[in-house]
Structure 1
Amino acid sequence: MAKRANGEGSVFKRKDGSWSAELSYRDEHGVLKRRTVYGKTQAEVRTKFRDARERIESGAPVKDASVTVAAWLEGWITKSLAASDRKQATKDLYATIARTHLVPTVGTIPLGRLRPSDVEALIIAKRDAGLAASTIRTIYTVLRAALDIAARDGMLRSNPAAVVRRPGVDRRDAPHLTVDQAHALLDAVRGDRLESLFRLMLATGLRRGEALALHWSDVDLDAGQLRVRWTLSRTSKGLQLEEPKTDKSRRTVPLPRSAVETLQAHRGRQEDERRAAAGAWRDADLVFTTEIGTPLEPRNVLRRFELLAQRAGLAGVHLHTLRHSAASFLLAAGTHTKVVQEHLGHSSYAITADIYSHVGPAQQREAADRLDQALRW
């Protein structure tokens, strides 16, 4: 990468009527080098000359890389992304997004010629294709992350995605169960091998990965609480236990009495399965396992829940609905939003308040009714 440039350049007209200018500079090793710029007019050449000189003096590359965006993305996936401290599931997602949505669209563009308008055109094309707003935001996030590394490595003067506004996501009320629907669901899961898992998730609002990674050593039935320290997910490297993404996700969650009773009964059934499996049992201290003690496959758990929800006559209800329902029930019962935030492990108060804003009107109506009763003589 160049360190300095001189302030002069020989600007002259060429035989074909175009103009050119030559800039000399020393690279990071002190080696004298030259850079020639061309243009149709003298003014264009002088502009390019000033730009080249500013790039050199600022430590930026003399010219942007000519490799394609596709080639850069593949290198980024196998090197920078792989070396990052992101969770393996996130690395897998980013690699899939890059290969599925970026390579076929902006992949043929030379890296140095990618412009903010190209990024905006990509966003528009994905919207026209009917992709979810959250998916489009992730596509932008992946592209920007890859280009950040290109700029860091001197392949680009600056990241063209950085000046493009991040795509927004429409806020929608989190889908949640009514009390009657919750009872219908609990009736449908009764007797199922995964009944205890689903009951615990509804009672605590644990994420799927958090519940499947729960260890008995993290459960204190006497104190009526559990600790969230791990999350289980399927990755390209198999099932992996990883630490939660944020400090807020690592938390202690109180257990309602019904949840304590559910776990007590579940532990007894697990002991029966352990004895039945005999030498085939693989003890990993996990609360929820297969019949031989191994971790449950997250996708199988999801499929099983959706089948049971259909049997209960609950259309459009997914496993994550249990988490939203737990939060809605807590808020409807008058629990402060800050407490619910800590209960769920959200990174900020604003996230909880925004996701569950639908509970507010009901609480306001209840408060107004109570005030009305208090004012009556």
Structure 2
Amino acid sequence: MPGKRKKGEGTVRLRKDGRWEGRVVVGYDEAGKPKTKNVLAKTKKECVARLKELKSTCTVVRPVQVQTGMPFRDWLDFWYQNYSKPRLRPSTQLNYEYWIYQRLIPSLGEIPLNQLTQAELQQFFRQMKESGRKANVGQRGSDMADRSVRSCHAVCQMALDKAVEEKLIHANPAVGCKIPPLKGKEMKILTQEEIQRFLIQAKAEGMYELFLLELTTGMRRGELLALRWEDLDFATGKLRIDKQVCPVGGKLVISEPKTRAANRTVILPPAMVELLAEYKRGVFSELMFPSRIKPDQPIDPGYVRKRLQVILERAGCKRVRFHDLRHTFATLSLENGMDVKTLSTIIGHVSSATTLNTYTHITDEMRRKAALNIDQGIAKAEVQPEPERQATVEPEQQTFVPIELPRRRPGTGCVSQINEHLWEGRYSPVWPDGKKRPRNVYAYTREECEEKLKGLILEMKAEIAALRSGASTEYPDGVNPRKKAIAAYLREHPDVTNKARIARELHLNRSTVRRYYDEVRAEAQQQR
């Protein structure tokens, strides 16, 4: 007797007309009745294969019959796949999937939805707080962060809210659970002196334009790294922000901004526009801040975070996050008289209330100054003169000298002294065909050699960019890359003489293959 098929695999039966039919449930309607799809085949084996292919193309990942007595795990999965996942950004999806499939389902998944109690949820969140940490237990202990517990509770509450809306349960047991209170982090910002030292050190390390633009606009890190040159109008200084970079599963994904208000346009100061115009001459990519290794991809956000901490340490500044640079911009803007509504629009907050709540300490000081001005103007209050400042220069106000790097930055070549009166500069980039073709410059002084090397690097980067874009096809060795591809193919397949097949497998035009085929064959015979 054949074994019974597992639940969810569908059914396979032999029809009266001799054909095999496969049927699978792909979802349920509002009344709880199943929705099915079927396939037909001449043999059972073929039917099973088609049924498997049908299941893989269904939009519902795991069909579940929605009912009050269903397990909590089935409702969580159904709610996430059909209600929550379609509206979430890729990075947020990873967080939701962790809380649902790694936390909630293993602990509470077997409990029926209509029997889940507040006491069971309260016990789960308490245990999660006390011993929920799985990574870095030795360094930080087993206690899970308050923010993580609150995030897991929020996901659970949203899923149960939908169950109440669908009338599967009468009340949400997650409402009323005691969870760790929300604690605001102390905001750290850089002072004027620290900003100066930070930018001087950033310039020495080749990241001046990136961090200066951040301190000028207060963009989020993902928004800054997703910028393209087409987003900036050099004539008007308008910079369009309509995308962001998100690391998802080890890859960088360009997605929509965090909120609808994040789609905005800011006006850059003329000095910043001129600086970016000069910076663009050495960037041969559509991206404003491309990776040095892969110019068609943006800089990895993790790399920017690491470089920030290194530059802060070398500049003698306090340790801050990248997001604190955004706070620094907002704080300095408010202190210099910018109104809250304008600032909210520039930094992409949904409403001015968000800006007011975030920068309460600044607005309180502004209100205090306003009250003092009113008191002086209306009540004619006497103002106590401030003590005169000494004219001595403090140590932090002295000219900061950047720390010399122990090694040269990637992409800047190398300089070496050949003898007492001769210096050599060398740049060895990897060309699009995977080979290194170094070039050298020579000078009588190190300073002159550095200048010549900068010009050589710009020249070679322009050639490499032209090859990548297709504007040029000739490499420095004078050999066309298409000819190289044909020669490499014929070395591996010497018996192939069909030019159409070569063109098809190499994705080339037939005319290109006919142009180089005989020449490549002749050169191969000469080498033999």
User: Is TM more than 0.5 here?
Assistant: yes
Matched, 1:171 2:171: no
Matched, 1:245 2:258: yes
Tell me which moved more, 344-353 or 100-109: 100-109
Q: Which residue of 2 aligns with 1:36?
A: none
The answer (yes or no) to whether the contact 1:172–1:355 under 8 Å persists in 2 is: no
Matched, 1:286 2:287: yes
Letter paired with 1:289 = P
The 3-state SS of whatever aligns with 1:226 is strand
Measured in 2, the distance between the counterparts of 1:361 and 1:81 equals: 39
Per the alignment, do residues 338 and 122 of structure 1 end up closer, same or farther by CA in structure 2, a change over 3 Å counting?
farther
- Give the gaps of 5 or more residues in structure 2: 1-29, 34-64, 132-142, 384-528
Per the alignment, do residues 242 and 325 of structure 1 end up closer, same or farther by CA in structure 2, a change over 3 Å counting?
same
Q: 2:231 aligns with which of 177, 200, 218?
A: 218
Tell me which moved more, 219-228 or 337-346: 219-228
The 3-state SS of whatever aligns with 1:269 is coil
Q: 1:142 aligns with which of 139, 155, 168?
A: 155
Per the alignment, do residues 116 and 296 of structure 1 end up closer, same or farther by CA in structure 2, a change over 3 Å counting?
same
The 3-state SS of whatever aligns with 2:266 is strand
Q: Which residue of 2 aligns with 1:3?
A: none
The answer (yes or no) to whether the contact 1:173–1:356 under 8 Å persists in 2 is: no
CA RMSD of aligned residues (A): 3.3
Residue pairs, 1:178-197, within 5 angstroms: 178-197=191-210
Measured in 2, the distance between the counterparts of 1:364 and 1:322 equals: 24
Per the alignment, do residues 90 and 97 of structure 1 end up closer, same or farther by CA in structure 2, a change over 3 Å counting?
same
Measured in 2, the distance between the counterparts of 1:236 and 1:145 equals: 25
Letter paired with 1:119 = L
Measured in 2, the distance between the counterparts of 1:183 and 1:71 equals: 56
Measured in 1, the distance between the counterparts of 2:66 and 2:91 equals: 37
Per the alignment, do residues 265 and 123 of structure 1 end up closer, same or farther by CA in structure 2, a change over 3 Å counting?
farther
Matched, 1:327 2:345: no
Tell me which moved more, 193-202 or 325-334: 193-202
Letter paired with 1:300 = Y
Measured in 1, the distance between the counterparts of 2:70 and 2:374 equals: 70
Q: Which residue of 2 aligns with 1:117?
A: 119
Letter paired with 1:207 = R
The 3-state SS of whatever aligns with 2:246 is strand
* Deviation for aligned residue 1:63: 7.2
* Deviation for aligned residue 1:210: 0.6
The answer (yes or no) to whether the contact 2:121–2:177 under 8 Å persists in 1 is: yes
What does the per-residue CA deviation read over 1:161-199, in whole Å, with 9 as the maximum and x for residues that have no partner? 256588652234432212122122112211323321111
- Give the gaps of 5 or more residues in structure 1: 1-26, 31-60, 275-282
The answer (yes or no) to whether the contact 2:32–2:67 under 8 Å persists in 1 is: no
Residue pairs, 1:233-272, within 5 angstroms: 233-236=246-249, 238-270=251-283
Measured in 1, the distance between the counterparts of 2:180 and 2:343 equals: 28
Q: Which residue of 2 aligns with 1:300?
A: 303
Q: Which residue of 2 aligns with 1:342?
A: 345
Taking only the aligned residue pairs, the percentage that are identical comes to 29
Per the alignment, do residues 96 and 349 of structure 1 end up closer, same or farther by CA in structure 2, a change over 3 Å counting?
same
Q: Which residue of 2 aligns with 1:12?
A: none
The answer (yes or no) to whether the contact 1:228–1:250 under 8 Å persists in 2 is: yes
Letter paired with 2:255 = E
Letter paired with 2:123 = A
The answer (yes or no) to whether the contact 1:173–1:357 under 8 Å persists in 2 is: no
The 3-state SS of whatever aligns with 1:248 is helix
Per the alignment, do residues 194 and 29 of structure 1 end up closer, same or farther by CA in structure 2, a change over 3 Å counting?
closer
Matched, 1:231 2:232: no
Measured in 2, the distance between the counterparts of 1:367 and 1:104 equals: 56
Per the alignment, do residues 191 and 157 of structure 1 end up closer, same or farther by CA in structure 2, a change over 3 Å counting?
same
* Deviation for aligned residue 1:81: 4.1
The answer (yes or no) to whether the contact 1:226–1:252 under 8 Å persists in 2 is: yes
Tell me which moved more, 344-353 or 150-159: 150-159
Letter paired with 1:362 = E
Measured in 2, the distance between the counterparts of 1:62 and 1:360 equals: 50
Larger relative contact order (CA 8 Å, sep ≥ 6)? 1
Measured in 1, the distance between the counterparts of 2:373 and 2:206 equals: 43
Residue pairs, 1:87-106, within 5 angstroms: 87-106=89-108
* Deviation for aligned residue 1:126: 4.3
The answer (yes or no) to whether the contact 2:356–2:363 under 8 Å persists in 1 is: no
The 3-state SS of whatever aligns with 2:245 is strand
Per the alignment, do residues 182 and 105 of structure 1 end up closer, same or farther by CA in structure 2, a change over 3 Å counting?
farther
Measured in 2, the distance between the counterparts of 1:337 and 1:85 equals: 30
The 3-state SS of whatever aligns with 2:316 is coil
Per the alignment, do residues 296 and 28 of structure 1 end up closer, same or farther by CA in structure 2, a change over 3 Å counting?
closer
The answer (yes or no) to whether the contact 1:228–1:249 under 8 Å persists in 2 is: yes
Per the alignment, do residues 320 and 110 of structure 1 end up closer, same or farther by CA in structure 2, a change over 3 Å counting?
same
* Deviation for aligned residue 1:255: 1.3
* Deviation for aligned residue 1:237: 7.8
Per the alignment, do residues 237 and 300 of structure 1 end up closer, same or farther by CA in structure 2, a change over 3 Å counting?
closer
Task: Look at both structures and tell me which one has the larger radius of gyration over its CA atoms.
Answer: 2
Measured in 2, the distance between the counterparts of 1:312 and 1:232 equals: 28
TM-score (norm 1): 0.70
Measured in 2, the distance between the counterparts of 1:320 and 1:192 equals: 20
* Deviation for aligned residue 1:122: 3.6
The answer (yes or no) to whether the contact 1:65–1:156 under 8 Å persists in 2 is: no
Per the alignment, do residues 140 and 223 of structure 1 end up closer, same or farther by CA in structure 2, a change over 3 Å counting?
same
Q: 1:198 aligns with which of 183, 206, 211?
A: 211
Tell me which moved more, 168-177 or 249-258: 168-177
Q: How many residues align?
A: 307
TM-score (norm 2): 0.52
